[in-house]
Amino acid sequence: MLTEPIPADESLDTTGLYCPIPVIKTAEKMKGLPVGTVLEVISDDGGIEADLPAWCVGYGHDYLGSFRDGACWRLYVKKNAVD
């Protein structure tokens, strides 16, 4: 877990959405981004901390970590794979 947020190129707010929708929305957002882009995903879904890193491994992206911000998580993904 990160101790503070990290700079991100793009942000995706999935607050109020629950498994598997935050990961699906993340996948959709990543498709339009260039390789090397850091995406911040904001979520209040407790399962996102396990789901997003697993998705990153499966699709070739780097999971950079998460930061707890009140009731929400801020999770960071770096795009490595080409669509």
Number of domains in the chain: 1
21-77 pLDDT, tens digit each: 999 999 999 998 999 999 999 999 999 999 999 999 999 999 999 999 999 999 999
In CATH, what number is assigned to the domain containing residue 22?
3.30.110.40
pLDDT at 83 over 80: no
Q: Is residue 18 part of a domain?
A: yes
72 as an active site residue: the answer is: no
Ordered strands of the 38-43 beta sheet: 10-13, 38-43, 72-78, 62-69
What pTM was computed for the model?
A: 0.94
Catalytic residue among 10, 13, 17, 19: 19
- pLDDT recorded at residue 1: 83
- pLDDT recorded at residue 30: 97
- pLDDT recorded at residue 52: 98
Q: Is residue 31 part of a domain?
A: yes
CA distances to 11, 14, 31, 41, 72 from 68, in Å: 15, 15, 26, 12, 6
